[in-house]
C-alpha cells in the first residue's frame, strides 16, 4: 500500500511548480502561504521538522523591537510594529497581547525621560491604539506591578504593549494554512543539489529522510529560505559572495513560575549593557536571551553552562529576593539568528533587517528579518517572484487569511472559549492552565481534542496528551516524538515533567500509528532521552 507521505512525494515529483520554497521555518512557511493564496502552485520542503531551525528557538515575541529604536532602525520598528496587530488579528488565540514592563534604574540604558519618549515613539511608529499606549509608572506603581523588582536605585517604569506567541505553533499554523490553499509542504525532505539548465535553475534534487528516497522537484522559481543554512545553499549554487550570513546564538532558560512569579513580561538591563526578557507563561517563566557569535554545528545548538549562568545572574540582579539557582532551571533552548554580516559590528549591533539576494542562476535567497515580520517579508518576496515570472501583479491577501480553520473574531471569544474548555477539564489538576495551553496551541480544535480524550469516560491527563498526539499525527505531519513534544506542544520547554510522565505512552502510540519496529521505538526513546539531557547540560 502507498503511504500518505509517498502520495505527497508523488505529487511533488509529478508537477512543474511555479515556486519551490526551501526551508520550513516561519520565513519559508510565510512565503508558501502568500504564494498559494495568490494562486501560484507551490512546493515547500523542510529538511527536518517544520520550525526545527530558528523558528522554534526565538523569544516567542511578536514585537516591534525596542532595541531597534535604540539603534535608530525606525523603519524596522515601524514595519514590524504594524505587523503585530495584524498577526494578532489572524490568530488571536496564538498571538496574544502581553504587557511588558521596562523598569527604570539610575544609570540604566533608558532614563525616565528617554523611556517615556522612546515608548511614545515606539507606540506611534507601530500605530498602537490609544487605550493600549504606554503608561509611565512611579516607583510605587512599578513595585505594585512587579513586587520582586530590586528597589535600590529604582526610578519607575514604563508599561507598554507587545504580543507573545509560540513560534513553532505559529509556523505550523502558517504551513497548514498554506496546505489548505493548495501548497504541497513536506517535512524531512532536504534539497541536496540544484538542477541547472543553461545556467538557470529549473528544479532541485531532494532526499526524503523517512523512507530514504531521492527524487526531483521541478519549479520555475526557487526560493532559499533556509535560515542559518542560507549560505550552504548559496554555496551549492556557487553564488556565495562577500554578502554573507553572520550567525549569532541566543539562549533561553525556563524556571517554574512559582520560583519567579511575574505578572508581566519584563525587559531589563543587564550589567554588560545588554537587555534581557523575563516572560511568564502559564506554569513557567522563561528568561533570555544571549547574543554571541556562533561557528559550530548548526544542527546541534544547545544552551551551555556559562550562558545559563549569565541568565541566572541577570535575573537575580533584577529580582534579588528570588535567588534562582541552577537547580531551578527546568529546561533551556538555544537558536541561531541568521543576520547579514556587517563589517566592524558586534552580534548585538548587527541589523535585524531582512535582505534578498538573487543569483545569476535565478536562486532567490532571503535572510535576516524577524518572526514578527514574516508576513510582510513574504509579500515582498512573492511580489518579486511574480515580477520575475512576468505575471500580472496579483494582490497580496494574507492580511485577511486567518491562521486557523475556524477563527476567533477577537480576544473575548478566545477567553470565552478557554472558560468553556476549562469547564470540561474540571476532573483534572489545574484545569485553567491546561485550558489556556490547549486553546493557545490548537484554537477551537481544542474542543475536538478534549472530546476524543474523554470519549471512553476516563478523564486523565494521559488520555489528553494521547488525543493531542492523535490530532497532530493526523493533521500536523508529525513524524517523531521530538516533533510532538518540542514543536507541536512546547512541553519539552515549558512542562518537561509532563513529557517524562507520558513519554512511554506517546512512544507506543507512535509505534502503533507508524508501524515502528521495536528497534525504531528504542532509537526514538534514546533520541528523546538524549535531547532531554542536552537541555539540562549541567546535569550531564
Would you count residue 482 as binding ligand FAD (CB under 6 A)? no
Q: Is 109 helix (H, G, I), strand (E, B) or coil?
A: coil
- Cβ contact 32:178 at 8 Å: yes
Long-range interactions of 496-503: CB distance < 8 A, separation 24+ = 496/330, 496/331, 496/532, 496/535, 497/330, 498/461, 498/465, 499/528, 499/532, 500/532, 501/461, 501/462, 502/461, 502/462, 502/465, 502/466, 503/528
- Cβ contact 291:307 at 8 Å: no
Would you count residue 250 as binding ligand FAD (CB under 6 A)? yes
Would you count residue 370 as binding ligand FAD (CB under 6 A)? yes
For ligand FAD, the closer CB: 289 or 434: 289
Report the C-alpha gap between 503 and 398 in whole angstroms.
38
Using the contact rule CB under 6 A, the part of the chain among 51-59, 86-94, 237-245, 384-392 near ligand FAD is 51-59
Would you count residue 28 as binding ligand FAD (CB under 6 A)? yes
Closest to 417 in 3D by CA, of 105, 131, 101, 94: 94
Instruction: Out of 9, 12, 19, 22, name the contact with ligand FAD by CB under 6 A.
Output: 22
Q: β-pairing, 184-186 with 154-164?
A: unpaired
The count of C-alpha atoms lying within 13 angstroms of the C-alpha of 448, restricted to the half-sphere facing its C-beta, is 13
- Taking CA atoms, 424 is separated from 420, 440, 520, in Å, by 7, 16, 36
- Taking CA atoms, 354 is separated from 254, 293, 336, 372, in Å, by 29, 19, 15, 12
- Cβ contact 362:195 at 8 Å: no
Would you count residue 59 as binding ligand FAD (CB under 6 A)? yes
CB of 429: closest distance to ligand FAD in angstroms?
Answer: 31
Helix (H) or strand (E) holding 42: strand 42-45
Binding mask 300-339 for ligand FAD (x = CB under 6 A): -----------------------------------xxxx-
For ligand FAD, the closer CB: 53 or 103: 53
CB of 445: closest distance to ligand FAD in angstroms?
Answer: 24
Would you count residue 91 as binding ligand FAD (CB under 6 A)? no
For ligand FAD, the closer CB: 27 or 418: 27
For ligand FAD, the closer CB: 248 or 404: 248
Would you count residue 488 as binding ligand FAD (CB under 6 A)? no
- Cβ contact 165:265 at 8 Å: no
Instruction: Out of 20, 31, 33, 45, name the contact with ligand FAD by CB under 6 A.
Output: 45
Would you count residue 239 as binding ligand FAD (CB under 6 A)? no
Report the C-alpha gap between 77 and 125 in whole angstroms.
7
Closest to 376 in 3D by CA, of 348, 351, 399: 399
Using the contact rule CB under 6 A, the part of the chain among 35-43, 50-58, 424-432, 522-530 near ligand FAD is 50-58
CB of 369: closest distance to ligand FAD in angstroms?
Answer: 5
Using the contact rule CB under 6 A, the part of the chain among 55-63, 132-140, 356-364, 482-490 near ligand FAD is 55-63
CB of 288: closest distance to ligand FAD in angstroms?
Answer: 6
CB of 69: closest distance to ligand FAD in angstroms?
Answer: 15
- Retrieve residue 410's grid coordinates: 477577537
Would you count residue 476 as binding ligand FAD (CB under 6 A)? no
Instruction: Out of 371, 386, 446, 477, name the contact with ligand FAD by CB under 6 A.
Output: 371
- For ligand FAD (CB under 6 A), the number of binding residues is 39
Which residues touch 302 (CB under 8 Å, ≥6 apart)? 332, 334, 534, 535, 537
From the number of C-beta atoms within 10 Å of its C-beta (0-12, 13-18, 19+), residue 525 rates as: middle
For ligand FAD, the closer CB: 190 or 440: 190
Would you count residue 54 as binding ligand FAD (CB under 6 A)? yes
Instruction: Out of 52, 398, 418, 480, name the contact with ligand FAD by CB under 6 A.
Output: 52
Instruction: Out of 115, 177, 202, 289, name the contact with ligand FAD by CB under 6 A.
Output: 289
Would you count residue 266 as binding ligand FAD (CB under 6 A)? no
- Tell me which residues touch ligand FAD (CB under 6 A): 22-28, 45-48, 52-55, 57-61, 63, 190-191, 225-229, 233, 250, 289, 335-338, 369-372
Amino acid at each position: 500500500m502507498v503511504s500518505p507521505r509517498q502520495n505527497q512525494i508523488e505529487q511533488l515529483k509529478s508537477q512543474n511548480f511555479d515556486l519551490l520554497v526551501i526551508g520550513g521555518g516561519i520565513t519559508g512557511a510565510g512565503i508558501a502561504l502568500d504564494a498559494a493564496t495568490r494562486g501560484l502552485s507551490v512546493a515547500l520542503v523542510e529538511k527536518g521538522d517544520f520550525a526545527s531551525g530558528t523558528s522554534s528557538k526565538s523569544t516567542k515575541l511578536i514585537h516591534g523591537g525596542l532595541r531597534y529604536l535604540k539603534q535608530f532602525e525606525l523603519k524596522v520598528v515601524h514595519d514590524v510594529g504594524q505587523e503585530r496587530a495584524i498577526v494578532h488579528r489572524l490568530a488571536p488565540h496564538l498571538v496574544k497581547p502581553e504587557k511588558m514592563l521596562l523598569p527604570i534604574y539610575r544609570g540604566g540604558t533608558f532614563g525616565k525621560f528617554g523611556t517615556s519618549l522612546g515608548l511614545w515613539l515606539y507606540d506611534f511608529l507601530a500605530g498602537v491604539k490609544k487605550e493600549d499606549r504606554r503608561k509611565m509608572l512611579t516607583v510605587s506603581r512599578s513595585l505594585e506591578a512587579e513586587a520582586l523588582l530590586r528597589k535600590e536605585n529604582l526610578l519607575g517604569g514604563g508599561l507598554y504593549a507587545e504580543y507573545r506567541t509560540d513560534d513553532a505553533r505559529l509556523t505550523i499554523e502558517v504551513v497548514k494554512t498554506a496546505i489548505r490553499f493548495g501548497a504541497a509542504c513536506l517535512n524531512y525532505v532536504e534539497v541536496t543539489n540544484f538542477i541547472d539548465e543553461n545556467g538557470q535553475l529549473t528544479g532541485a534534487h531532494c532526499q526524503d529522510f523517512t523512507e530514504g528516497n531521492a527524487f526531483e522537484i521541478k519549479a520555475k522559481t526557487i526560493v532559499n529560505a533556509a535560515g542559518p543554512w542560507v549560505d550552504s545553499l548559496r554555496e551549492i549554487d556557487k553564488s556565495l559572495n562577500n554578502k554573507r550570513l553572520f550567525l549569532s546564538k541566543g539562549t533561553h532558560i525556563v524556571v517554574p513560575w512559582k520560583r519567579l512569579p511575574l505578572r508581566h513580561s519584563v525587559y531589563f538591563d543587564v550589567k554588560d549593557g545588554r537587555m534581557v526578557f523575563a516572560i511568564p507563561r502559564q506554569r513557567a517563566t522563561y528568561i533570555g536571551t544571549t547574543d554571541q557569535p556562533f561557528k559550530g554545528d548548526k544542527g546541534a545548538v544547545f544552551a551551555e553552562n556559562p550562558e545559563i549562568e549569565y541568565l541566572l545572574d541577570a535575573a537575580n540582579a533584577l529580582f534579588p529576593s528570588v535567588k534562582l539557582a541552577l537547580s531551578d532551571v527546568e529546561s533551556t533552548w538555544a537558536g541561531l539568528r541568521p543576520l547579514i554580516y556587517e563589517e566592524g559590528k558586534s552580534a548585538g549591533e548587527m541589523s535585524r533587517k531582512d535582505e534578498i539576494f538573487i543569483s545569476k542562476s535565478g536562486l532567490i535567497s532571503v535572510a535576516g528579518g524577524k518572526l514578527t515580520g514574516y508576513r510582510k517579508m513574504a509579500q515582498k518576496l512573492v511580489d518579486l517572484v511574480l515580477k520575475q515570472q512576468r505575471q500580472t501583479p496579483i494582490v497580496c491577501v494574507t492580511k485577511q487569511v486567518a491562521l486557523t480553520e475556524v477563527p476567533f473574531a477577537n480576544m473575548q471569544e478566545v477567553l470565552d472559549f478557554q472558560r468553556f474548555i476549562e469547564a470540561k477539564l474540571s476532573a483534572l489538576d489545574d484545569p485553567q492552565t491546561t485550558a489556556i495551553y490547549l486553546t493557545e496551541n490548537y484554537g477551537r480544535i481544542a474542543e475536538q481534542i478534549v472530546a476524543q480524550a474523554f470519549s471512553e469516560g476516563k478523564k486523565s491527563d494521559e488520555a489528553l496528551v494521547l488525543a493531542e498526539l492523535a490530532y497532530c499525527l493526523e493533521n500536523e505531519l508529525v513524524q517523531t516524538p521530538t516533533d510532538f513534544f518540542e514543536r507541536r506542544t512546547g512541553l519539552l520547554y515549558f512542562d518537561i515533567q509532563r513529557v517524562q510522565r507520558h513519554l512511554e505512552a506517546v512512544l507506543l502510540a507512535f509505534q502503533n500509528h507508524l508501524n515502528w519496529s521495536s528497534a525504531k521505538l528504542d532509537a526514538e526513546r534514546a533520541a528523546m532521552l538524549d535531547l532531554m539531557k542536552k537541555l539540562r547540560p549541567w546535569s550531564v
